[in-house]
Structure 1
Amino acid sequence: MAALTGIILAGGQGRRMGGQDKGMVLFDGIPLYQHVLQRLRPQVDIVMISANRNHDRYQSGGFRVIPDTLPDFPGPLAGMLSGLLAAETEWVVFCSCDTPFVPTDYVEQLWRNKEKATAVWARSAERDHPVLALLHRSLAQPLAGYLQRGERRLMQFLREQGGHAVLMKQDEAAFRNLNTPEDLREEG
């Protein structure tokens, strides 16, 4: 594999979590983003965190924190754009901060099955997981234009760029998002 930058997306409003910064919400006594970090770090060369709040807390782990370049929390694509612009590697892999069971080899699976695509994302047996994506840095300019037009649909952008899903070997539990306080209680 080429050198990879991993970006943990933690820049959302956390509406379903009562407005809390989801990355900082405790799960088993540890902030959610750290669960993702433990799984992502061995799979990449560089880790950055896309965040719009609590920069000092995220930076305390020694990681570069990158805020959205667009105002008003426009969604995961804004964090992806910031990550593509900040990365020095040609390839950037993304993971949301609320996916604590993300497969420890999802990056390898994406890389191995990307073929000639500049964008690929994870797919489990039941559905697509487009935030678990591997993107080439060249997509920054088309993504900026897409967002400037007011578009926010992640899957549409990835497909427009010739991307495709990669079927993952793990079961659905590996892709579970903890979006609400109820989700935390169910898993805890």
Structure 2
Amino acid sequence: MGGVNKAFVKFEGRCLIEHVVERLRPQCAGIVISANRDLSDFSRLADAVLPDVLSDFPGPLAALDAMARAAMPNCEWVLTVPCDAPRCPADLFERFSAAWCAAEEKPAVLIAEAAGRAQPAFALIHRSVLGGALHYLSKEGNRLGGFLKNCGAMTVDFGDEEGGFINLNSFDECRAAEMKIPLDK
């Protein structure tokens, strides 16, 4: 998006991140945003803002590493959603929780699946596996889906609800989504 912080791109009159926070706030005890710039802007939306501890900003695994290092004793589970998914499911945590409760073997990671495609950026992750993000990043690469799979992730089927998992990665995609034009993904 030409160097613009995607989280603050306007969508339906508000910033993308504002839509995400609005959907997550009722589902979570607290909102923590991973950010490496515009920290004061993010702080007005969250209970905490965590920058990466690692240099070069290597992506979502660095965010998980920062969360693992954070002193948040009352945080057992982390619900992840990207800042550019303004229509994320309003019942994401509830559905993950129900799937976890129904599972015979209790997974430490649950990821969404929609329309037959894994959506690893939408995950419920137990704090116990967060510390492995740094090791995976240093040895295996920076693929979030690969790390979560390595942690024994269980997929949770959200059916054909693909629209709630669409990431808006350009100004054109934002405008198309506002006008309800299907995006080619």
Q: TM-score scaled by structure 2?
A: 0.87
Show the counterpart of 2:6. 22
Are 1:96 and 1:132, in contact at CA under 8 Å, matched by a contact in 2? Answer: yes
- Amino acid paired to 2:78: V
Q: Distance in 1 between matches of 2:80 and 2:120?
A: 9
Q: Distance in 2 between matches of 1:84 and 1:93?
A: 13
Match for residue 122 of structure 2 among 124, 127, 132 = 132
Superposed, 1:56-71 pairs within 5 Å as 56-61=40-45, 63-71=47-55
Show the counterpart of 1:85. 69
Q: TM-score scaled by structure 1?
A: 0.85
Q: 1:62 to 1:130 in 2, by over 3 A?
A: closer
Q: How many residues align?
A: 172
- Give the aligned CA root-mean-square deviation in angstroms: 1.5
Are 1:92 and 1:134, in contact at CA under 8 Å, matched by a contact in 2? Answer: yes
Runs of 4+ in 1 over 2 A off after TM superposition: 60-63, 83-88
Q: Distance in 2 between matches of 1:103 and 1:52?
A: 26
Higher strand proportion: 1
Are 1:103 and 1:170, in contact at CA under 8 Å, matched by a contact in 2? Answer: no
Are 1:119 and 1:164, in contact at CA under 8 Å, matched by a contact in 2? Answer: yes
Q: CA deviation at 1:142?
A: 1.5
Structure 1 segments unaligned to the other structure (5+ residues): 1-16
Show the counterpart of 1:107. 93
Between structure 1 and structure 2, the one with the greater Rg is 2
Q: Distance in 2 between matches of 1:175 and 1:185?
A: 17
Structure 2 segments unaligned to the other structure (5+ residues): 179-185
- Identical positions, percent: 38
- Amino acid paired to 1:160: N
Are 1:81 and 1:140, in contact at CA under 8 Å, matched by a contact in 2? Answer: yes
